[in-house]
Structure 1
């Protein structure tokens, strides 16, 4: 049997890492920061040594998971940021894309929930760079379209309200295994109709 090529080895490595990441997200939803590399190996149906080969400890694994989730979050909301709609419609589209991705991709939900909790369960300040990137790539562009669409007054406060509402709504449904019942359109319409009616008062 001929040895594998570099391309084949790279493809296997990528497949294994995706398998580990998906398992880690599922375990994190079940156990939170108490997860262990061994739990991830069991969930991924891989040997402990295989997972340990890629990640020496759970913090390295979670760090990779969150950085990867940041890239996927940015890709998901980019169409709304790049669209030609007026700003308030961009903000609504951004919110729908964010909530839909959050429901479909556990690692994106974990990222948003972790940012909302200010990385409370993670040791030291190893996630300060990730938080800064999240601010620059996700949060501040959203604040800007809120500012353009609704006005400069309290735009950051409104952005926080929307983010908090979306993450909280997703958390309630995900932790109670009710993802299929989430009404993305309805919840976003409700949030924005409340903000806009308050603006008109």
Structure 2
């Protein structure tokens, strides 16, 4: 049997990483910060040594999971960030896309929840840089849409309320196994109609 090529090794590595990340998100939803590498290995149907080869501890794994989730969250809302339309339309579209992504991709929900919790479950200062990137790439562009679109007296407070609503709705659906029943359009319409009524 001939040795694997670099391309084959890269493909295997990518497949393993995807398995590990998907399993880590699922285990995190079940156990939170108490997850262990062994739990992830079992969920991914991989040997403990295989997962440990990629991640020496759960904090390294969670850090990668959240950085990856940030990239995917940004990709999900990129059409709004680079598209046309009024600031209000963009803010609503941004919220819909982000909520839809949270439902489809648990790691994005975990990221938003970790940001909302100010990473207080995570040790040390290793998530400060991630938090700064989230602010720059996701939060502040959204705040600007709110500032221009709703003329909010406190756009940061309004943005926080919307993010909190998205996290809360996703959590209810995830933990009650109702993902397929989630009315993304209706939820976002309700949030924005309530906010606009308050701001008048």
TM-score normalised by length of structure 2:
0.98
Corresponding residue of 2:11: 11
Looking at structure 1, the residues matched to 70 and 36 of structure 2 have their Cα atoms a distance apart, in angstroms, of 22
Q: Determine the structure 2 residue equivalent to 1:99.
A: 99
User: Within 2, Cα distance between the matches of 1:161 and 1:113?
Assistant: 13
Q: Which runs of at least 4 in structure 1 moved beyond 6 Å after TM superposition?
A: none
| Corresponding residue of 1:33 | 33
- Structure 2 contact 153–199 (Cα < 8 Å) conserved: no
Distance 2:26 2:150 in 1: 38
Structure 1 regions of 5+ residues with no counterpart? Answer: none
Per-residue CA deviations over 1:78-101 (Å, capped at 9, x if unaligned) read 111112110000000000000000
After superposition, the C-alpha distances for 1:35-94 in whole angstroms (9 at most, x for unaligned) are 000000000000000000000000000000000000000000111111211000000000
Q: For residue 111 of structure 1, what is the aligned residue in structure 2?
A: 111
Where does residue 79 of structure 1 map in the other structure?
Answer: 79
Q: 1:4 to 1:36 in 2, by over 3 A?
A: same
User: Counterparts of 1:199 and 1:82 in 2: how far apart (Å)?
Assistant: 27
Q: Which runs of 5+ in 2 are unaligned?
A: none
Q: Which residue number in structure 1 is paired with residue 53 of structure 2? A: 53
Instruction: Write out per-residue CA displacement over residues 157-179 of structure 1, whole angstroms, 9 at most, x where no aligned residue.
Output: 11011111111111111111111
- For residues 133-188 of structure 1, the C-alpha deviation after alignment (integer angstroms, 9 at most, x for no partner) is 00000000000111111125211111011111111111111111111111100000
Which residue does the alignment assign to 1:142? 142
How many residues get paired? 200
- Counterpart CA distance in 2 for 1:136 and 1:103 is 23
Q: What are the within-5 Å matches in structure 2 for residues 166-177 of structure 1?
A: 166-177=166-177
- SS of the residue aligned with 2:122? coil
Question: What's the TM-score once normalised by structure 1's chain length?
Answer: 0.98
- Partner SS for 1:110: helix
Paired position in structure 2 for 1:88: 88
